[in-house]
Structure 1
Amino acid sequence: MLDVSREEIVEGSLARALLVLAAPLLVQNLVQVAQQVIDLFWLGRLGADAVAAVGLNFPLVALLGVVAIGTLVGTQILVSQRVGADDLVAGRRAAVNGTILGFVLGLVVGLVTAVFAGEVIGLFDTTPRVGEMAATYLTVYALAMPIFSASDTLESGFVGWGDTRAALYINVLAIGTNAVLDPFLIFGWWLFPELGVAGAALATGIGYTGGLLLGIGMALRGRSGLLIDRSVLVFHTKDLREIVSIGWPNAAQSAASQAVRVVMIAIVTVAGGTAGVAAYTIGAQVATVSFVPATGLQHAAQSVIGQNLGAERPDRASRTTWIGVALAAGTLVLVGAVQWFVPETLTLVFVPDATGTELELTADYLQILAYGYWAIGATYLLRGGFNGARRTRTSLVATLLQYWAARLPIAAVGVYVLGAGVVGVFWAVTLSNIVAAIGLGLYYRHEVADGMYERAAEVASGEEGDDGERPDAETDGNGDEGTSAAAATDGSGAG
């Protein structure tokens, strides 16, 4: 019922393949959201300073995650295309090399961040106590970065193989362990030391260590054909180059969107004060939960597209994208309708003690966001369509245009020229999402008609030569480097 084979992906119902692959990813995303809620629940018992310290780390942690995004997206797409081409040995080897690369890059970035954690937190204008707690949390979290990065990349290898349930199992173990350990390490329950905010970061690190070990165990034992043995435990430089070539635009895309959020919050602060920032933050949190179906479908679509290109079925790759667009946009229209009718209720769920002004502004933002939900669903899947063809650079350019060429200018005009206040920022988010969906849809249609998938299929289905090297896969025939994305989504699209 919840299994889908390679033959079904390249020959069977595309809608079923998308839904079956997306279902575990949807649950996985919900579990990750639950982890954030649980962490905040326990940290809230330490007081507002602890919550502020961890909240201060959110954008920093997101930037650290850029390292994992590049390796996991590159690994997913490379594995999926090799599996589609029935080159299973090369697919397994790509999963191994991607995981190793994720660990090494995570180790380098994590160590540098840990050494300079105090200086990084010192850049923020905060109280000494909050600053000290934030630096402690960041140090512990950074030291666990190689585990986070390797675990996420190994998960993406399973997803690219078409086994999204394995990724779900890894996440459930990681986050379940984190949830159980949180109170023990934060408050010093039973025999455990009382570590405060450092305990929350350590619980996350231990949880992901368990998830990574589970993933390695499943791969060593063999699951759905993904078996790691001595024959694929090979350091392969060309695999590494392809993973980086495919994945780096997604890492840059994530970094660009995070940078824009910092500027947008600055504008919101000027235009709406504390109440405006609260509304903007709550809206982004609600939207993150609402967009879970779209993110799951995007990851699933990238694997289905990659495998069909490897199997030299470009027609099915194109149909996969449009089916995914219809499913994601349609689902988010329904979600948006619910959000439009009960914005106050949703606000009080997240912030029970919201003031009158905060409640009013947040309700306005949630209703304005709802008008563009369909566009975000469509954009996620259109990016997935380009990503599956290794056109991740296209996703990067689309994100830069959406945020820097549309969202920021519209927000600035709304606030500083039209005098619309923080509501002008809210409309800038929705309008930029709609512009991105329409523009990317038209460009996608043009590129498909111009043979994008046929060229990508030639690259993806290329046989290895006698020396074990695959043909150069870094161009798609247009001079554009190959690409992909999913983890490279820009978050909720609401920030």
Structure 2
Amino acid sequence: MSDRRAAIVDGSIPRTLVALAVPLVAQNVVRVAQQVIDTFWLGRLGETAVAAVGLTIPVLGLLFALLVTPFVGTQILVSQRIGGDDDDGAHRTVVHGLALALVVGAVVGGGVALAARPLVTVVGAGPDVASAAAVYLGTVALGLPLAGASDALEAGFVGRGDSRASLWINVATVAVNVVLDPLLIFGVGPFPALGVRGAALATVGGYASGFLLAIALALGSRMALSRRHVALSVAEFRALLSVGAPITGRQVVSQSVRVLLVSVVALAGGAAGLAAYTVGARVASVAVLPSRGLAQAAQSMVGQNVGADRPDRAGRTTRVGVGITVAALACLGAVQWVVPGPVARLFVPDLSGQGFAFTVQYLRILAYGYPAIAVVDLLLAGFNGTGRTRTSFVADLLKYWGVRLPVAALALPAAASVSVFGVAAAPGLDLGMPAVFWAVTGSNVAAAVGVGAYYLRAVRRGLFADAIDGTSEDADAAASTD
């Protein structure tokens, strides 16, 4: 671990950043592959099963947003404490993150399991899919404590600079899920045929296996957690919530707008518009994997350099990360712009007609915004690494609610509008699907300009040096509490 810290606070920034990011990018690829494989097996049950599970996606997205608090809080605080050579403090943070994740997961998961049927009805489940959707959601919800606890331990490893451990935990989670899917869905050998419930149980089994591996790695030489680190304090929980809660708010903001946008697309573009929007979302989720992985790696590197009293390297890490990520996403965007048709058919081979035309148009418009996504991801990683996670929350609040949703609503017929709690948010101008497409890319570009300007202002005012002073004060407060 000392070698890893030395590379982060003294070694080559580009090489160390990429080395940390590669396992995280691979981890995200594994997660995407899991979604594809789950859909493949469920598709063998028929359209109703796929629709039932698909309806739970926005609900699960919001549930997992609540588990982001212990994850992000653990990663950032661990990275800062490792940078400051405070191994015991880092271990205590992991224990507190684990405890917080178990509690939040149990409360949220238990509540959702009891209220699964009303929840799926609220998101639009009809009588044909409501029962299956409720079964899937309620069963997966019971696994949230395991998923949250596994994520908190992963965050501890990533904060320490051990991104490979996080990759192996995710590989174990997905591998068990993939193996159990056909066994529990269709019934093979001693396993009963459970259908949609079987798919949910396979997911929970994956969470359990990932958690068990994470515990084994944490207790072993990779982290060396021990009984002496299990001493819970209110100050540690307060620090986790202070850093992690704004990122939970950020996730809730983005997920809620995505749910509303589906309604806008359905009204403005019908089935063809929904197909294009769905394909575009899937393509973009794959294209931004390098940006997400590099941002997570940069977040840990910035945190460790802040803890090590190296504000210069924290700033350079952010700038180098922006350069690498912008170049990577610009290349991917160029490919997508040149051959949008083959890219679309790679995801949906049978796409044709108006749906195909919309998709080609959307993929080209999306490509313009990829470098902007890279800028936002890496600059916010710089803020997050210093502990200023509220910046991420405000940035997404303005991006999604201030730009994306109002502009997308212009696609609606004049008689329609998007409403928030019964109040009209924006009138429709009947601009059609291009308004939605440009709303997505335009909000990404606007966010890059806004976050970039704010970052330059913060750096001039001593962003990283101030973070070092704040980290020292927090460490002193934690020590006095102990």
Q: TM-score, normalised by structure 2?
A: 0.94
Structure 2: distance between partners of 1:463 and 1:426: 44
Q: CA deviation at 1:412?
A: 2.8
1:36 paired residue number = 35
State the match for 1:67 in structure 2. Answer: 66
Partner Cα distance (1:118, 1:371) in 2? 41
Separation (CA, whole Å) in 2 of partners of 1:7 and 1:230: 27
Q: Report if aligned partners of 2:268, 2:411 keep a CA contact under 8 Å in 1.
A: no
Tell me the equivalent position of 1:152. 151
**Partner residue in 2 for 1:231:** 228
Q: After the TM superposition, which segments of 4 or more aligned residues of structure 1 sit over 6 Å from their partners?
A: none
Q: CA deviation at 1:409?
A: 2.2
Contact 2:110 2:142 in 1 (8 A): yes
For 1:205-235, what per-residue CA distance to the aligned partner results, in whole angstroms no more than 9, with x for missing partners?
A: 1112111111111111121xx2101110111
Give the match for residue 475 of structure 1: none
CA 320–465 in structure 1, closer or farther in 2 if over 3 Å, else same: closer
Matching residue within 366, 371, 382 for 1:369: 366
Match of 2:128, SS state, is helix
Mapped contact 1:85–1:460 kept (Cα < 8 A): no
The separation in 1 between residues aligned to 2:83 and 2:42, in whole angstroms, is 45
User: Residue 493 of structure 1 aligns with which residue?
Assistant: none
Q: Alpha carbons of 1:163 and 1:115: their partners in 2 closer, same or farther (altered >3 Å)?
A: same
Match of 2:433 among 417, 422, 429: 422
**Paired letter, 1:432:** S
Aligned equivalent of 1:300: 297
Describe how 1:82-481 pairs up with structure 2 within 5 A: 82-223=81-222, 226-413=223-410, 415=412, 419-462=430-473, 464-465=475-476, 468-469=479-480
State the distance in 1 between where 2:472 and 2:24 align.
27
Residue pairs, 1:45-64, within 5 angstroms: 45-64=44-63
Bigger mean CA deviation after superposition, 214-223 or 286-295: 214-223
In structure 2, how many angstroms separate the alpha carbons of the residues matched to 1:248 and 1:431?
27
Specify the code of the residue in structure 1 equivalent to 2:479: G
Q: TM-score, normalised by structure 1?
A: 0.92
Say if 2:69 and 2:248, in contact at 8 Å, map to a contact too. Answer: yes
2:365–2:441 CA contact under 8 A, matched in 1: yes
Q: 1:87 to 1:363 in 2, by over 3 A?
A: same
**Aligned partner letter, 1:29:** N
What code does the residue aligned with 1:441 have? G
Distance in 1, matches of 2:477 and 2:381, equals 33
Deviation at 1:268, TM superposition (A): 1.2
Provide the C-alpha distance between the structure 1 equivalents of 2:450 and 2:141, rounded to a whole number of angstroms: 38
Distance 1:438 1:460 in 2: 29
CA distance in structure 2 between the partners assigned to 1:450 and 1:110 by the alignment: 43
Cα deviation code 1:159-213 (max 9, x no counterpart): 0011000000100011011101100010011110111111111111111211111
* Distance in 2, Cα, partners of 1:327 & 1:397: 25
Give SS of 1:387's match. helix
C-alpha deviation, 1:122, in angstroms? 1.9
Q: Which amino acid aligns with 2:45?
A: L
Q: Distance in 1 between matches of 2:140 and 2:377?
A: 29
Q: CA deviation at 1:340?
A: 0.8
Aligned-residue offset at 1:10: 0.6
Q: Is the 8 A contact 2:235 2:478 kept in 1?
A: no
Q: Distance in 2 between matches of 1:410 and 1:139?
A: 35
User: Aligned pair in 2 of structure 1 residues 65, 4: CA closer, same or farther (>3 Å)?
Assistant: farther
CA gap of 1:419–1:229, structure 2 versus 1, over 3 A, is same
**Mean Cα displacement is larger for which, 134-143 or 10-19?**
10-19
Gaps of at least 5 residues in structure 1 are 472-495
AA paired with 1:325? V
Classify the secondary structure of the residue corresponding to 2:270.
helix
- Displacement, 1:464? 4.6
Residues 135-158 of structure 1: CA deviation (Å, up to 9, x unaligned): 000010000010011111110110
Q: Distance in 2 between matches of 1:470 and 1:354?
A: 61
**2: CA distance, partners of 1:458 / 1:91:** 18
Would the aligned equivalents of 2:52 and 2:125 in 1 still touch at CA under 8 Å?
A: no
Q: Tell me, yes or no, if the aligned pair for 1:71 and 1:153 is still in contact at 8 Å.
A: yes
Cα offsets for 1:334-360 (capped at 9, x unmatched): 000111111111211211222311111
CA distance in 2, matches of 1:436, 1:329: 15
Relative to 1, partners in 2 of residues 1:179 and 1:463: Cα closer, same or farther, differing over 3 Å? Answer: same
Aligned CA RMSD, in angstroms, stands at 1.7
Cα deviation code 1:212-268 (max 9, x no counterpart): 111111111121xx2101110111221111011100000011001111112212211
CA distance in 1 between counterparts of 2:84 and 2:254 reads: 34
2-structure distance, mates of 1:419, 1:104:
47
Q: How far apart are the structure 1 equivalents of 2:153 and 2:93? A: 10
Q: C-alpha distance in 1, partners of 2:263/2:478?
A: 54
Query: 2:294 is aligned with what amino acid?
Result: L
Cα distance between partner residues in 2 of 1:326 and 1:466: 37
